[in-house]
Amino acid sequence: MKARITVTLKNGVLDPQGKAIEAALGSFGLGGIGGVRQGKVFDIELHGSDKDAAEATLRQACDKLLANTVVEDYAIEIA
């Protein structure tokens, strides 16, 4: 089973890396960009075929290691 976890900064949390990317895109002459927010993605291969168990495992993984839930949100998609 494959899963994708996307970790993004919560709304309202400053994202200096995103701002730097936005400025860099502007300096490359790419217009029309109103804002950039940067995040992380994890593609995870799971053994077994129990989706509920997989989601519980991934939720624990996010809470313990992959996301800082004080300032970040995460989304889990299981394929």
Residue numbers at the binding site for its own copies (CB under 8 A)? 6, 8, 18, 21, 24-25, 28, 30-48, 53-54, 57, 60-61, 64-66
Task: Find the shortest distance in angstroms from Cβ 60 to its own copies.
Answer: 6
Of 57, 72, 53, 76, which Cα lies nearest the Cα of 15? 72
By beta-carbon proximity to its own copies, the closer residue of 27 and 70 is 27
Query: Which is it for the CA torsion 54, 76, 58, 47, positive or negative?
Result: positive
Q: What is the Cα–Cα distance from 69 to 59, expressed in whole angstroms?
A: 11
By beta-carbon proximity to its own copies, the closer residue of 65 and 70 is 65
